[in-house]
Chain A
Amino acid sequence: MSDTPSSGAQPTVAEKVFTFVDERVGLKLLAAKMLNEAVPGGSRWAYVFGSILLFIFGMQAVTGVLLMFYYVPTADHAYASTQYILHDVDYGWFLLSYHFWGSSAMVLCVFAHMSQVFLWGAYKKPRELIWLVGLLLFALVMGFGFTGYLLPWDQRAYWATTVGVEIVDKMPVLGDFLARFLKGGATPGQMTLSRFFVIHVMVLPAALIALAGLHLFLFRCAGPAGPFRGTPTELKAKTDYFFPRQIWKDVVGMAVVFACISALAFWEPVVLLDEATPDPGDYHPEPEWYFLFIFQHLRLKMFSGELGQFFGSIGLPGALGIMLILLPFFDRDSERNIFKRPLALIGWVVLTASIVLFTVSAIINRDFLD
């Protein structure tokens, strides 16, 4: 880190501006602090998902703000304004489809990120708080998906919300209040659209920015966990800084994700169904693919009846959530190697397999409905 300017030559205007700012806020030191973060054991492709999530969120924010230039969140104009974006506004189809597929990419990368942290045992002491804030961020991402789905106000949107809110209604004590609170009444309508809109574009983004900031702050306090194998000497020998090797990997990851989302938006652009109304016609209601496994498991006979339904829609997901919250406090063993944590490995495999299984069977089941 040399502070001396290039030999003898007069500083350019850009250099003068940089020096001016640097004198006042210490830019060089700040940049050094940001970039020279030691990564024990060296940079890895497995570590790219956090940065990719930040990138996807940034793009969702940009495309989301752009969509709001035309979108109107009212029951009588939401559908028309979304169709207008899709068919009349230049590149509207692309921006809306990018935003749509971006949400899928977000959910996939959240799953990958959480799996990586879980399998690497990186939630263990002293990183429990990062894990907890991460779980909150996961809930926010699902909330984004759920609230955003209603906004186009087509049949798909209407029914996913109708069923989704009924699931909230199954919560003990507070369920009825929360469901009415979300809907702004007894059935989905203008009040629901207003509420979902403001939650989607104001409440959740503010919460996500705050919590993602906290997540990063806590991460910087504890530092990267590094690999679960290797002696201190081996780790030190392989240690590098966040910049340039890890950032390079992150940037490649972002570019790949951007290319995938763009390709999906290009070849599979969003097509709306009919406008939302309580009569679905021939449409078979179904949620977005990342909620399909919940949808499918609620079809099981074991979750029938009032009690079964409570277990299926609230009890089971709630228990899973509580287990994830308590995980770093019960799993106090400092062993991080996933191959020496059989229970954790089996748990992850079973959960992932059942999510895949239920999702696939929901897709297969579509053929039997007509």
Chain B
Amino acid sequence: MQPQLKSKVRCADREVGEVSKVIMDPLSFEVSHLVVSMNGEGERQVPMSAVLTVTDDVVQLRSSSSEILCMPPFTREDYVTLHEVEIPGLERHVHVNPGEVLVPFPELERNVKRRAFFTKLTYATGLFIGLPLVFPVLKFLMKPMYASLDNRWLKIGNIGKVKADDVGVQFQYKRKVKEAYLPEAEIEKNVWLVKATSSVLEKVYQGKDMEFRDAAGRPVWTNKKDIPFLAFSGKCPHLGCAFKWRKHKVLGQVFLCPCHLSIYDASGKVLDGPAPRPLDLLPIQVSASGEVQIIDMEFKAGTKSQTRIV
């Protein structure tokens, strides 16, 4: 046990005083020294190695009283109290108490039988308040997440801009958006048009017309396999960046996405880079006068199959 305050201190020959303080070692968390009040002859600092036995109220030392008296006096300035310093865990190791310190337990708190019940009642009340809020809060936050798809045709320019075959030509257009409470605004977007030769068309359509459907599965439009105009969504199917038509040292003229360097040929097929699927084709109409119209669709990036999101 640890020596207690006020314990009598006995030397080999006689009693010399009582324990007035104990000193803890901040690393080992053990009592390292006792401070002994020498019955009016000052205080001495005695190492625990000099202690022979410790009982409830007596500390027995090995040394004689004269040896203890010869020790240098205790210097208070070399120490701070436990309360003035932060040494984590030290207080848990101190068992030096002059005695128990008590306060009365209130009358009403004695013999309360249903403490556990009241604890559970508190949790239940919490759930009663919290649970009904989960659904409304979720719906509140999810309000704009799933908008319906828009199948309007947008005029984007005149096909006369496309001069050569199998070359990507960017068409920039403005799209009106009306978001929630905001006034109607215009955002700039772009698509890439290719006037395809028959070999490129064959690569794209593989002899079949391409059908576009709405969310309910009803057909919206069919791109005929022999119409030479292709419109690619401006969004890279890898991670949604915007790609460009560029000259590549080895592959020649290609669609290149500057973000993660996916490369596609004029038919939209992946030639190199991380893209998981070819470029996304959009529904396209070209009128007799050359006016180009598209349905501005967007597809989820990064998936092998197409999932329409706009």
Binding site for B on A (CB under 8 A): 1, 29, 32-34, 36-38, 40, 74-76, 159, 162-163, 166-167, 169-170, 176-177, 180-181, 183-187, 189-191, 220-223, 232, 235-236, 239, 241-242, 277-280, 284-286, 295, 298-301, 303-306, 308-309, 312-313, 369
| A163 touching B179, Cβ below 8 Å | no
A153 CB to closest chain B CB, in angstroms? Answer: 12
Question: In the complex the two chains form, is A222's CB within 8 Å of B242's CB?
Answer: no
B309 engages A163 (CB within 8 Å): no
Instruction: Pick 26 A–B contacts, CB within 8 A, sort by A.
Output: A1-B84, A38-B87, A75-B179, A162-B240, A167-B239, A176-B300, A181-B145, A183-B145, A187-B310, A189-B177, A190-B182, A220-B88, A221-B88, A223-B86, A223-B89, A232-B28, A236-B27, A277-B187, A278-B188, A286-B259, A298-B239, A298-B274, A299-B274, A306-B304, A309-B239, A313-B302
Are B276 and A285 in contact, CB atoms less than 8 angstroms apart? no
- Whether B47 is near chain A, meaning CB under 8 Å from some CB there, is no
Q: Which residues of B contact A369 (CB under 8 A)?
A: 258
Provide the bound-state CA to CA distance between A309 and B144, in Å: 28
Say yes or no: B273 contacts A304, CB within 8 Å. yes
Tell me which residues across on chain B come within 8 A of A38, comparing CB atoms. Answer: 26, 85-87
CA of A223 to CA of B6 in the docked complex: distance in angstroms?
32
Chain B neighbourhood of A235, CB < 8 A? 27
Q: Does B190 contact A (CB under 8 A)?
A: yes
B residues bordering A, Cβ < 8 Å? 25-28, 80, 83-89, 141-142, 144-147, 172, 177, 179-180, 182-183, 185, 187-190, 234-235, 238-242, 258-261, 273-276, 298, 300-304, 309-310
* A279 touching B172, Cβ below 8 Å: yes
A187 in contact with B85 given A36-B80, A277-B188, A279-B172 (CB within 8 Å)? no
Contact across chains for B242 and A169 when beta carbons are under 8 A apart: no
Q: Establish whether residues A159 and B241, one from each chain, have CB atoms under 8 Å apart when the complex forms.
A: yes
B88 touches A223 (CB 8 A): yes
| Bound form: Cα–Cα A38–B29 in Å | 13
Q: Whole-angstrom distance from the CB of A165 to the nearest CB of chain B? A: 8
B contact face: mostly helix, strand, loop, or mixed: loop
Q: For residue A308, which residues in chain B have a CB less than 8 angstroms away from its CB?
A: 274
Q: Is the CB of A305 within 8 A of B145?
A: no
Knowing A40-B27, A279-B188 are in contact, say whether A299-B301 is a contact too (CB < 8 A). no
Asked, given contacts A166-B301, A190-B179, A298-B260, whether A75 binds B88 with beta carbons under 8 Å apart, the answer is no
Minimum CB–CB distance for B144 against chain A, Å: 5
CA distance A221 to B90 in the complex (A): 10
Nearest residue in B to A312 (C-beta to C-beta)?
B274
A72 to B179, CA, bound (A): 17
Contacts A76-B183, A166-B302 given; does A304 touch B86 at CB 8 Å: no
Q: Top 9 A-B pairs ranked by shortest CB distance?
A: A223-B88, A304-B274, A186-B309, A37-B86, A284-B258, A279-B188, A32-B84, A36-B85, A277-B188
Q: How far is the CB of B62 from chain A (nearest CB, A)?
A: 24
Q: Which B residues touch A37, using CB under 8 A?
A: 85-86
A-B pairs under 8 A by CB, number = 152
Report yes or no: A75 in contact with B185, Cβ–Cβ below 8 A. Answer: yes
For A220, the chain B residues whose CB sits under 8 A away are: 86, 88
How far is B276's CA from A303's CA once the two chains are assembled, in angstroms? 10
Residues of A within 8 Å of B146, CB to CB, are: 180
Contact A191 B302, beta carbon cutoff 8 Å: no
CA distance A223 to B49 in the complex (A): 28
Q: Is the CB of A189 within 8 A of B298?
A: no
- Tell me whether A36 and B276 are in contact in the complex, defined as CB-CB below 8 angstroms, given that A277-B188, A306-B303 are known contacts: no
A279-B240 in contact given A190-B179, A308-B274 (Cβ < 8 Å): no
Assess whether B147 is in contact with A186, with CB atoms less than 8 Å apart: yes
Give the contacting residue for B145; candidates A40, A180, A189; CB below 8 A.
A180
Distance of A121 from chain B, by nearest CB (Å): 18
Chain B residues within an 8 Å CB radius of A32: 80, 83-85
Of A33, A76, A222, the contact of B85 (CB 8 Å cutoff) = A33
Query: In the bound complex, how far is the Cα of B147 from the Cα of A284, in angstroms?
Result: 29
Contact assessment for B238 and A309 in the assembled complex, using a CB-CB cutoff below 8 Å? yes
Cβ 8 A contact of B26, one of A76, A163, A177, A236: A236
**CA A295 to CA B298, docked complex, whole Å:** 22
CB-based contact B276/A279 at 8 Å? no
Kindly state the separation between the CA atoms of A170 and B275 in the bound complex, as whole angstroms. 13
Decide: A304 near B88, CB < 8 A? Known: A180-B145, A279-B188, A285-B241: no
Instruction: Establish whether residues A222 and B88, one from each chain, have CB atoms under 8 Å apart when the complex forms.
Output: yes
User: Which residue, of A169, A221, A278, A301, has the highest number of chain B Cβ atoms within 10 A?
Assistant: A278
Which single member of A76, A183, A309 contacts B276 (CB below 8 Å)?
Answer: A309
Give Cα distance in the complex from A278 to B138, angstroms.
29
Q: Is the CB of B275 within 8 A of A304?
A: yes
B28 touches A305 (CB 8 A): no
A299 / chain B contacts, CB cutoff of 8 Å: 260-261, 273-274
Interface centre among A34, A166, A167, A221 (most CB of B within 10 A): A166
Q: How far is the CA of A278 from the CA of B146 in the complex (A)?
A: 19
Q: Which residues does chain A contribute within 8 Å of B310, judged by CB atoms?
A: 186-187
Across the interface, name the chain A residue whose C-beta is closest to B28. A232
Residues of A within 8 A of B235 (CB): 278
Q: Are A170 and B302 in contact (CB under 8 A)?
A: yes
